[in-house]
A and B are shown apart, each in its own frame.
Chain A
């Protein structure tokens, strides 16, 4: 046992911000060790459908995605003005019938901007989760199943990252690689994958000594086959839960980095970016510029977290939630 390795029972070791976001349950013991077949998905579906908040969250998320990525259709105004000087002079105007969320310093409709900014924020959240889950799962599975060198390497690497404040590393990396949405994605995923890998590795480790794996091995199945056909389907739950939660974490982290000045640059904008631009308006009549993008983040992250919660409950009925 290493000092930096999580100890004790049922502990999530999945989140780049330590326990933040990854609530208990994720990374827990896998309760069922039989190979997945259809009736299990049925069970899963039924359990998931019982989680009311998760169902609502799915609705909210679908709505958000449709609105943001369909912004060209749904947004009441264009994301940018045409550069007409007179429009620039309008300046910020509070929420009204014409502009539900008001307009910003350049007279642009805040609601429309939130939808367009959502494209970037959601894109960052999804891409980071997808990338880090893919890489993390592969590395984690290899480490967990093959053990030894890869495993040691992975654990030591993550140990290193656990003793350094993440935000600091991310901030420096973004300064070096430039403030584009693609670099934000790569830099965040570059750190997040390690934690996904740790989760998968832990799961695989606890599974690989089980009888059904022994049986598969005895029947001559190749390693790849065992991992892909027998092990991964059994850890799909924690992987999905963690992937979901990293969407939330990526969105929050991006906004924090934006606030510190390490975010995407205009004309592109993200929710974090809108928030950091409006930080100074706290306590002024323009505070709505701070409220609405913040609420967009709040709503998204809340929904994603509830979704993760529902997934966890559905995958792992024993979890004490």
Chain B
């Protein structure tokens, strides 16, 4: 019986959280459309989230490109299909691996950072101080951060994809004597408009999800300094899980468009 009650409480809490997160998202749109806008803070956040994630995204993308090519090469050689390597790597990176891996890295770096930053601001009453000074903290802290992640993630994905393709081209160049020019020509021949557009659109949603979850967890942080750690941790876990849900929906919807 105790197990049933506990399960009921957990399920109830899950739905409450979904409701609160949805309300938080609605509030974001309401506040984002109303002036005054915090452009200066938005640009600062874009720089903070975009520029400072470049190295991490670049290194990860490069290694993913290298590893993917190295791992696939023997199998493709077995079937005599090694010339398909640029096509396979290009499509898989641009359509799926690039956006998902970049988003997961950003969930780890950005969502936890936002969760911890806003959480510590909440417990040290900095958010209250902002409110008392006549500045809307939701607009200043939340709207700018969610907008920044939404705008920056597609750019990071494009950067990550490019670096991953360079990694793959390097392996092909060293192992298969394929020039960089030939490699990239083959990749761009294989890629279609229908591969790039859905991947870019879903990157915006990934960015929005990361910003939304990070801000929600930090903004409503409770239980003192211990709560800051919890906020940062749950922000990463929830954002990562939601990214897969968003990815599934995006693939499902883009498949419908392909069939049309």
Q: Indicate, yes or no, whether A interacts with B.
A: no
